């Protein structure tokens, strides 16, 4: 599939990388042409022109100030579980908050816990269970980080990430840090306005119950949710639900009713288990996935009169360029 895309300005990426490396300091990790496919759950797509793992908030702030002055776009990467990376990669600086400096889990002793943006939700569930903090069980099986879950207001089993938020620490694109209470955030279905451009550094989350819960009870609830997912979702590589549910309806049901389960493009397939998942059987390209996205949308539009909107984000690009 060939698509005419808006050309990115030509840049001397080697020179930019060298200058950025000296701005952030030797403790941060920076690489050129870092493949992003392996850093996503769908496992497709090209490389980041520059990939940065800042060592700490000071290095992150230095990076943001650098890219701002240089006029280079930046993109936050969490676990890459809600992303489709285009085959041509990402023309910009991809920033990942990886490592212990970004993965705090610090209970406050008052039913709250401070979590770093890089902490995986799976780790959060496990650590919360041990700490007797109930209320995070619904996050089990969402393969993202705290930062990605805040940006997406991730939700499952009737719970939403922002239900549990007390305050969020974020860094503005100018490199300034602020702590904001829950009330300062405008969130809805898979969206948080304040994190569209800013980077979440961490969040204080509140347990759903006031008293400490026995770890066995929390673990039992996690098991219930885990089994539900195992029964209803494919095991192959995917980015979760591809389309948002239209108001009062289910995207998966509409796609299923259009007879699209099993539809294939190369090694990408509309999952026969869950019609709102596109799975990669190994070796699919982003173009394969994009072609399926277009075919599914067209069929649902014609047969059901519904225009499905992607939930998965096109990393570094806008869907309007492709759809
Ligand atoms: C098998 C499977 C099941 C899933 N089930 C669910 C589900 O039940 N419910 C659900 O809501 N989602 C689900 N998802 C989608 C995905 O896991 C969530 O959206 C998750 O919150 C994304 O987190 P991430 O760290 O992977 O973010 P990424 O995919 O890396 O990024 C998503 C967005 O968040 C931004 N971002 C990442 N980190 C930060 C940060 N620190 N600060 C600001 N922005 C940031 C990125 O720039 C991007 O815009 C599922 C995915 C898979 C593969």
Read off the pLDDT of residues 9-33 as tens digits, 9 standing for 90 and up. 789 999 999 999 999 999 999 999 9
Q: Are residue 119 and residue 217 in the same domain, yes or no?
A: yes
Ligand 1 atom closest to 157 (CA): 8
CATH number of residue 208's parent domain: 3.30.465.10
Most ligand 1 atoms within 8 A of CB, residue of 81, 146, 188, 225 to mutate: 81
Question: H-type helices in 25-120, by residue range?
Answer: 57-70
Q: Are residue 148 and residue 222 in the same domain, yes or no?
A: yes
**How many Å lie between the centroid of ligand 1 and the Cα of residue 146?**
9
Q: Which domain holds residue 43?
A: 13-99
Ligand 1 atom closest to 156 (CA): 8
pLDDT in tens, 130-162: 999 999 999 999 999 999 999 999 999 999 999
Q: Are 51 and 30 in contact (CB under 8 A)?
A: yes
Is residue 171 in contact with ligand 1, taking CB distance under 6 Å? no
Q: Which of 52, 48, 78, 74 is nearest to 173 (CA)?
A: 74
CATH number of residue 62's parent domain: 3.30.43.10
**How many Å lie between the centroid of ligand 1 and the Cα of residue 312?**
9
**How many Å lie between the centroid of ligand 1 and the Cα of residue 144?**
5
Is residue 92 in contact with ligand 1, taking CB distance under 6 Å? no
pLDDT in tens, 88-111: 999 999 999 999 999 999 999 999
Give a yes or no: residue 3 inside a domain: no
d(CA 285, CA 105): 36
Q: Terminus-to-terminus CA distance in the chain, angstroms?
A: 12
Q: Are residue 90 and residue 189 in the same domain, yes or no?
A: no
0.85 exceeded by the pTM? Answer: yes
Q: Are 308 and 302 in contact (CB under 8 A)?
A: no
* Residue partners of 8: CB distance under 8 A and separation at least 6: 91
Q: Which of 289, 267, 280, 272 is nearest to 236 (CA)?
A: 280
* Secondary-structure percent of the chain, ordered helix, strand, coil, rounded to 5: 35, 25, 40
**How many Å lie between the centroid of ligand 1 and the Cα of residue 80?**
6
Query: Binning pLDDT at 50, 70 and 90, where does residue 297 land?
Result: very high
* Residue partners of 315: CB distance under 8 A and separation at least 6: 36, 45, 75, 77, 80, 83, 84, 85, 86, 90
Q: Are residue 219 and residue 135 in the same domain, yes or no?
A: yes
**How many Å lie between the centroid of ligand 1 and the Cα of residue 154?**
7
Per-position b or e across 27-42, b if 16+ CB within 10 A of its CB? ebbbeeebebbebbbb
* Residue partners of 160: CB distance under 8 A and separation at least 6: 153, 154, 187
């Amino acid at each position: 599939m060939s698509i005419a895309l808006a050309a990115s300005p030509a840049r001397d990426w080697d020179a930019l990388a060298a200058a950025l490396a000296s701005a952030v300091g030797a403790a941060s990790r920076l690489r050129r042409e870092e493949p992003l496919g392996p850093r996503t759950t769908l496992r497709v797509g090209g490389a980041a022109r520059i990939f940065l793992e800042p060592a700490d908030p000071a290095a992150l702030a230095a990076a943001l100030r650098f890219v701002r002055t240089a006029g280079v776009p930046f993109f936050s990467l969490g676990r890459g579980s809600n992303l489709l990376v285009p085959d041509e990669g990402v023309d910009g600086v991809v920033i990942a908050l990886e490592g212990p400096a970004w993965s705090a889990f610090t209970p406050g002793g008052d039913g709250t816990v401070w979590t770093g943006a890089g902490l995986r939700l799976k780790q959060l569930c496990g650590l919360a269970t041990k700490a007797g903090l109930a209320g995070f069980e619904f996050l089990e099986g969402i393969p993202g980080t705290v930062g990605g879950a805040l940006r997406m207001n991730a939700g499952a089993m009737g719970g939403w990430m922002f239900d549990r938020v007390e305050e969020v620490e974020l860094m503005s694109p100018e490199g300034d840090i602020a702590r904001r209470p829950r009330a300062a955030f405008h969130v809805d279905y898979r969206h948080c306005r304040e994190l569209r451009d800013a980077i979440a550094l961490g969040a204080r989350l509140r347990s759903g119950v006031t008293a400490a819960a026995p770890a066995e009870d929390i673990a039992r609830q996690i098991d219930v949710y885990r089994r539900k997912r195992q029964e209803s979702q494919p095991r192959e590589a995917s980015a979760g639900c591809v389309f948002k549910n239209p108001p009062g309806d289910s995207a998966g049901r509409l796609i299923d009713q259009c007879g699209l389960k099993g539809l294939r493009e190369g090694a990408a397939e509309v999952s026969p288990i869950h019609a709102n998942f596109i799975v990669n059987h190994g070796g699919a390209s982003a173009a394969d996935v994009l072609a399926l996205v277009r075919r599914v949308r067209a069929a649902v539009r014609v047969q059901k009169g519904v225009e499905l909107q992607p939930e998965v984000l096109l990393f570094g690009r806008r869907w309007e360029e492709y759809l």
